[in-house]
A = this chain, B = another copy of it.
Amino acid sequence: MTSVTCQITISLDGYVAGPNQSLEEPLGRGGERLHEWAIATDAWNEHHGRRAGERTVDSEVIEEVVANVGAYIMGRKMFGGGEGPWDESWTGWWGEDPPYHTPVFVLTHHAREPLTMQGGTTFHFVTDGIESALAQARAAAGDKDVSIAGGASAAQQYLSAGLLDELYLHIAPIVLGGGERLLENVGDPTLEPVKVVASPAVTHVKYRVVH
């Protein structure tokens, strides 16, 4: 059985996006600071097809978290394009070659034909709920893992439904003071820290969700 994982960066005060999210600032005010640690790594650059940056333990974490992913699931808001029926000119935030390179299942209330991008990423739009999306993602992933890409709401739904096996938090040493919180409406999951990686930029803590 493959694992259902989620790896996400949170601020020290528990936010995965800052306040006042908008089309111009999808991560909200200050939210881009969450990802400075990742932008600084060459693994990230490589994965995004850019030139190599600094090599750190953070690079290894990024390599690790993408290594065994066979499919992603993400919320509609993370895919973007606003609410309501689709504007089909919207193909995500990531340009022609999104950094997923696998099938990606987008949770939405509005049907849309699959969208094939460059580099192996195909977005599938799932309108019949998180369990259906997971079943489709598992089938697509084969013997690899399914990763919940985000945002907070998608992660919350899988965690509170008992469908998440592993939560890998990258705890950024910043205080956003408001925004979208990761760990609310998730009930009282039993979590076990199974791995910690420390860097000067961020603290990575992998939790096993005990079922």
Which residues of chain A have a CB within 8 Å of any CB of chain B? Answer: 12-14, 30, 169, 171, 173-175, 177, 181-184, 186-189, 191-193, 195-196, 198-203, 205, 207
Contact = CB atoms under 8 A, between A and B. Distances in A.
A40 to B, nearest CB: 15
B200 A173 contact: no
A173 B199 CA distance: 20
Nearest to A12: B183
B175 A187 contact: yes
A13 B183 contact: yes
Contact of A174 (B191, B202, B203): B191
Given A184-B13, A203-B205, A173 B198 contact: no
Question: Which of A177, A192, A202 has the largest number of chain B CB atoms within 10 A?
Answer: A177
20 contacts: A12-B169, A12-B183, A12-B191, A13-B181, A13-B182, A13-B183, A13-B184, A173-B192, A173-B207, A174-B188, A175-B186, A175-B187, A177-B184, A177-B186, A192-B200, A193-B198, A193-B202, A195-B198, A196-B198, A198-B205
Contacts of A187: 175, 177
